[in-house]
């Protein structure tokens, strides 16, 4: 008799958990907001839709399974701060440093000399040209800030989906906290 009761309790426990959690959620007792420190993009978009200047290859290759920490450079001074912060965040991740890669996007040819100087200062990041500025338009449309005035850091998951962005005034410790949860 004891084994039947024990077996019944084992089988009913997952069912009861699902039923009570569903009731809890549908009665309006669900969590409000999120604990993320960044801003989610307004709508879902995939980075595999963006091709290089010839239209043959993707801008970024996601075959390595790494998260992407990136900045779209429109203002060289503000982007220098963001690029420096990206490097600091990458170093602060410590043992998870190999799960992340850094990418800098740009579309303005006039910034190439300044960007080459920045790339020399902060190695191990990829510089990608967005020929038509299509990526900038999609980022602008899906964010609440003006990307021509601010150069936020944004995060792309290993499957090529843009996840969230961090405005330039976000505390780096809070960004690091989010990255540790994501990665």
Same domain, 151 and 89: yes
Tell me the pLDDT tens digit for each residue of 13-55.
999 999 988 888 788 776 665 567 888 888 878 887 777 666 6
**Domain containing 3: what range?**
1-32
What is the number of domains present in the chain? 2
Same domain, 162 and 77: yes
The stretch 59-77 carries a mean pLDDT of 86
Same domain, 99 and 82: yes
CATH code: domain of residue 61 = 3.40.30.10
Same domain, 67 and 6: no
Tell me the pLDDT tens digit for each residue of 102-126.
999 988 888 888 888 888 888 888 8
Answer whether 69's CB lies under 8 Å from 169's CB: no
Same domain, 168 and 121: yes
Q: Given the DSSP bridges, would you call strands 39-40 and 126-129 parallel, antiparallel or unpaired? A: unpaired
Q: How far apart are the C-alpha atoms of 149 and 147, rounded to whole Å?
A: 5
The predicted structure's pLDDT at residue 38? 85
Same domain, 72 and 130: yes
pLDDT, the chain, mean: 84
Burial class (CB in 10 A: 0-12, 13-18, 19+), 74: buried
The predicted structure's pLDDT at residue 135? 87
């Amino acid at each position: 008799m004891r084994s039947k009761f024990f077996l019944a309790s084992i089988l009913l426990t997952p069912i009861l958990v699902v039923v009570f959690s569903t009731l809890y959620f549908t009665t309006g007792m669900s969590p409000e907001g999120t604990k993320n420190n960044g801003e989610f993009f307004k709508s879902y978009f995939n980075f595999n839709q963006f091709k290089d200047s010839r239209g043959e290859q993707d801008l970024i290759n996601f075959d390595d399974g790494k998260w992407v920490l990136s900045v779209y450079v429109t203002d060289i001074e503000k982007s220098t701060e963001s690029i420096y912060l990206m490097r600091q965040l990458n170093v602060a991740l410590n043992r998870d440093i190999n799960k992340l890669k850094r990418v800098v996007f740009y579309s303005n040819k006039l910034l190439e000399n300044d960007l080459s100087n920045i790339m020399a200062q902060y190695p191990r990041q990829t510089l990608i040209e967005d020929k038509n500025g299509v990526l900038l338009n999609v980022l602008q449309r899906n964010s609440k800030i003006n990307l021509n005035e601010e150069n936020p850091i944004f995060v792309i998951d290993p499957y090529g989906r843009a996840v969230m962005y961090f405005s330039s005034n976000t505390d780096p410790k809070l960004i690091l906290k989010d990255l540790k949860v994501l990665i």
